[in-house]
A and B are shown apart, each in its own frame.
Chain A
Amino acid sequence: GENVEQHPSTLSVQEGDSAVIKCTYSDSASNYFPWYKQELGKRPQLIIDIRSNVGEKKDQRIAVTLNKTAKHFSLHITETQPEDSAVYFCAASSSGGSYIPTFGRGTSLIVHP
């Protein structure tokens, strides 16, 4: 099955700095890579995703890059704000019917004012 590794487990930055979270996956059949944000006590919610036919995608202050050859993808947050503080999860899944999202272990991002 798929295995997703995520680093770092904790990331502490000053407000206005950039934050980068990296993930690697093992299954070359994976073709969908979402990122979820989970605030304390809440459900995870999608913030951005990328498919295997695209190398980079950007949405305002967040961007995701994908390197299919190396099997890794990254989340970039620029101009961080205190409200960006949360746990971020990467995930990978493949087509074929079950679409099982395999998640990384999460990164706790702390943005200091």
Chain B
Amino acid sequence: SQTIHQWPATLVQPVGSPLSLECTVEGTSNPNLYWYRQAAGRGLQLLFYSVGIGQISSEVPQNLSASRPQDRQFILSSKKLLLSDSGFYLCAWIPRRTGNTEAFFGQGTRLTVV
């Protein structure tokens, strides 16, 4: 069966520090991968999506970046965090081979920038 792992679950980082959130999917190949941010417990804002290794599309200009070094690995990064980067970050995937279907979410990372 397919599973998605996202870590860490919680993170408290000082302003100006770097960030690395990781997401991996098991039990499938060539998934579509997405990073969303949810601020104040509401609203899912798409940050990045990827349809293949090394293919990253950015939806919102910001100081965040994403990478997909392997087929089932999706990483969200920042060189210097801002206070406004605080929020709940969710990784999600959709199986390409089944077409337009539901998104499966990771457990999320609650990031607090202090």
CB within 8 Å of B: which residues of A? 9, 31-32, 34, 40-46, 49, 87, 89, 91, 93-95, 97-103, 105-106, 108
Cross-chain contact of B43 among A95, A99, A106 (Cβ < 8 A)? A106
B41 touches A87 (CB 8 A): yes
A105 to B36, CA, bound (A): 13
Q: Report how many A-B pairs have Cβ atoms within 8 Å.
A: 60
B105 touches A100 (CB 8 A): no
Say what secondary structure dominates the interface of chain B.
Answer: strand
- What are 21 inter-chain pairs, A to B, with CB distance below 8 A? A9-B42, A31-B100, A32-B100, A34-B102, A41-B110, A42-B107, A42-B108, A43-B105, A43-B107, A43-B108, A44-B44, A44-B105, A87-B42, A91-B103, A95-B99, A95-B100, A99-B96, A99-B99, A99-B101, A100-B46, A106-B44
Chain B residues within 8 Å of A93, by CB: 100
Chain A residues within 8 Å of B46, by CB: 100-102
A89 to B90, CA, bound (A): 14
Q: Does B94 contact A (CB under 8 A)?
A: yes
Q: Does B34 contact A (CB under 8 A)?
A: yes
